Amino acid sequence: LLVVWVILILVYVVGRLFFQVKWLFVPEFTEYFMVCVVFLSLAYTLRSRGHINIDIVLRRFSKRVNIILAAITAFLSLLITCYLVERGIDWFLYAFSSHMYSMGPMHTLLWPVFIIVPIGLTMLALELVLHIYRTVVQAVRGERAKSENLEWLGGKLLITK
């Protein structure tokens, strides 16, 4: 998807620069590609620990306290994500039932774009459930979860490789 996006923008820029050709669909579809890239990569970013970690305060706590904070943070994130999934589904259903089109020059049907939001957020919610499970197992057993080492959004919280 990123490769297609880059090629599309490259051809658009070259076309405008050398041939004074402006494709009307490129700016609009670039925005749709951004929605796909952002929402479909949320779960992967959580799984691969790719979020920004700021651990200036958390370094002062013990590993056990950090594990508990990670579980609490993950649970709160799951609640917010579930709410956003519900709102995203409502948004998609409204666009689908009302045959909503973009206001741009391409007049694009919007429900296929809107469904990406709840799909990506649902994948994130499932990954958060797995993260909570691993964190609770680690807190209870005092050991590393088998499938991966755990860190969380607030900082390097758990044992690393």
How many Cα neighbours within 13 Å face the side chain of 3?
0
The residues with which 152 forms a beta bridge, in sequence order, are 155
Q: Name the nearest CA neighbour of 36 among 14, 77, 8, 78.
A: 8
Residue 51 has a pLDDT of 80
- pLDDT band at 105; cut points 50, 70, 90: confident
15: exposed, middle or buried (Cβ count in 10 Å: 0-12, 13-18, 19+): middle
- DSSP structure string for 83-136: HHHHHHHHHHHHHHHTT-B-SSTT--B-HHHHTHHHHHHHHHHHHHHHHHHHHH
132-153 pLDDT, tens digit each: 999 888 888 875 544 444 444 4
User: Is residue 40 helix, strand or coil?
Assistant: helix
In this model, does residue 86 exceed pLDDT 90? yes
29-77 pLDDT, tens digit each: 888 989 999 999 999 999 998 888 777 888 888 888 888 888 999 999 9
Residue 27 has a pLDDT of 83
In this model, does residue 128 exceed pLDDT 80? yes
Quick one: average pLDDT of 107-122?
Answer: 95
**Residues making up the chain, counted from first to last:** 161
Percentage of the residues of the chain whose pLDDT score is greater than 90? 45
- pLDDT band at 25; cut points 50, 70, 90: confident
Residue 102 has a pLDDT of 92
